Amino acid sequence: MTEAVAVPAPAATVVLLRPGPDGSEVLLIHRPATMAFGPGLHVFPGGRVDPEDADVASDEVAAATARALGDNLPPDRALAVHRAAIREVQEEVGISLAGIDELVPIAHWTTPAFMPRRFSTWFFVADLPTDAVPVFEAGEVAAHRWVTPEQALDQMATGEIAMWVPTTSVLERLIETGASTAADVGRRIRMARIEPPRIIHDDPVMIRWVFGAAGGLPGRTCETMLLGARQFILVDPGDPSDEAVRLIDAVVARRQGAISAIVLTRTDPDHAAAAEAIAIPLDVPVLVAPGAGRRLPYRTREVLDGESLPTDVDAHVRLDAPGSGRLEVVTP
């Protein structure tokens, strides 16, 4: 009997940006250890969409919010997500954003299917209003910090703070774009409609897909490979969407095999976003180049140059230049 999977509740999160001495800083709030979801983690302010967020607005405004999300939600639901983002920032950190046009979408993440509480969360970026002073909701915020994205990832790497993959991936996206304001993000990142997955190679020992939400960014594509006849390695699962994960699971089941390891040729979100969500329920390792796992919020295993990979076809690792954090999967 198949175990029931929780339906993700719609939610919204806001990455607040402000200028800092070392560059643009983000606000991270520390969730109390008593929280039912994500206790003890450092996250961005946010929460679920409430019924009052679905108040009526003009068709033009609702359509604009849907376009901002790449038309991946109907206008009424897209508007509710934007309103939830504004409301949550007000409730959790006492910051009033003037309107939905101050929110710039940067990502969409769904809690993995194996978790009992799930959320379909849209991430937005907004600038801290001039002269605004946060006032934190004590029941939801144990502490807070303003840090650059680089500082946040370094603090996680040293064990000072804990974060989940969606948070670290958004931080990586900010570093990738070089954005220091919400307007910068809007100029450099645009969501688009997610295209259906497509197969670009299929033979008895290899299948390669193109997926449409790389790194949690709807409309950005990535390639993922499943290698093996029955004992598989999964290479670069960069799309964390339910659809992508379900499709990979279905192919593994149809070929009557099992994934023995996940291999990341890079550890940026576009290559690694779904790795942890797939690895945890399967209890398999995530293999990376030396030093490449430092900014991932989960355990990885470093591989050696020339190391054989755990699949039933001939495959091994070829490392890129030392310190690059990159590797190649080599087959005959």
Supply the pLDDT for residue 259.
Answer: 98
Is the pLDDT at 15 greater than 70? The verdict is yes
Q: How does pLDDT run across 278-315, given as a tens digit for each residue?
A: 999 999 999 999 999 999 999 999 999 999 999 999 99
Please count the other Cβ atoms lying within 10 Å of the Cβ belonging to residue 228: 24
CA-CA distances (angstroms) from residue 144 to 45, 98, 105, 155, 229? Answer: 10, 23, 23, 14, 49
Give CA–CA dist 28/51, Å, rounded. Answer: 26
Is the pLDDT at 2 greater than 60? The verdict is no
Report the range out of 28-42, 46-60, 71-85 with the highest average pLDDT: 71-85
Is the pLDDT at 1 greater than 50? The verdict is no
Give CA–CA dist 274/286, Å, rounded. Answer: 11
Please count the other Cβ atoms lying within 10 Å of the Cβ belonging to residue 238: 26
Q: How does pLDDT run across 225-239, given as a tens digit for each residue?
A: 999 999 999 999 999
Q: Which of 20, 291, 31 is nearest to 139 (CA)?
A: 31
Q: How does pLDDT run across 198-231, given as a tens digit for each residue?
A: 999 999 999 999 999 999 999 999 999 999 999 9
pTM of the full structure: 0.95
Supply the pLDDT for residue 105.
Answer: 98
- DSSP symbol at 161: S
- DSSP symbol at 53: G
Supply the pLDDT for residue 36.
Answer: 76
Region 128-143: what's the mean pLDDT? Answer: 91
Is the pLDDT at 75 greater than 80? The verdict is yes
Half-sphere exposure of 39 (CA within 13 A, CB side): 4
Q: Which of 180, 182, 191, 181 is nearest to 216 (CA)?
A: 191
**Residue 326, exposed/middle/buried by CB under 10 A (0-12, 13-18, 19+)?**
middle
Supply the pLDDT for residue 3.
Answer: 63
Is the pLDDT at 23 greater than 50? The verdict is yes
Q: How does pLDDT run across 39-57, given as a tens digit for each residue?
A: 899 999 999 999 999 877 7
